[in-house]
Every structure is written in structure tokens, then in C-alpha cells.
Amino acid sequence: MNILEAKLNLLISKVENLKKENLEMKPTLHRTQEEVLLLKAKINEATIKIENLLAQIPDSSI
């Protein structure tokens, strides 16, 4: 019975540690997700600008 109790205590300890680690990582995850959205918006803006510039280049039939 002592072995089972020790294993359960170890499992509980590991679960608690993982919960704590998860809570510590959540703010970083949210900041990273916001950064990804911002970068995607910047890429879209750059794509539009490049497409507009390419549309201004006259076709050459050499």
C-alpha cells in the first residue's frame, strides 16, 4: 500500500507542477498569438503594396 501511495503522491506532485508551468506559460502564449496576428497583418499590407507596384510596371514585349 505504501508503494501505491508514494506513486499517487508523485503523480499528484507532477500534475500540480504541470498546472503551475501551464499558468506561467499562458501570458507568453497570448503575447505570441497577438504578435502573430500583427505580423500577418503587416505581411498582408506588404503584399498589397507589392502587387500595386507590380501593376504599375508596364508590360514589355521584347
Instruction: Find the range with the poorest average confidence among 9-13, 15-19, 39-43, 57-61.
Output: 57-61
pLDDT, position 62: 56
pLDDT, position 25: 97
**Residue 31 in domain:** yes
pLDDT, position 61: 61
Taking only the tens place, the pLDDT of each residue in 24-33 is 999 999 999 9
Domain that holds residue 34: 24-49
**Residue 14 in domain:** no
**Residue 58 in domain:** no
**Residue 30 in domain:** yes
Domains in the chain: how many in total? 1
Query: CB under 8 Å to 34, separation ≥6 — which residues?
Result: none
45-60 average pLDDT score:
93
Q: Which of 34, 57, 35, 38 is nearest to 46 (CA)?
A: 38
Neighbour count for residue 23 (Cβ, 10 Å): 9
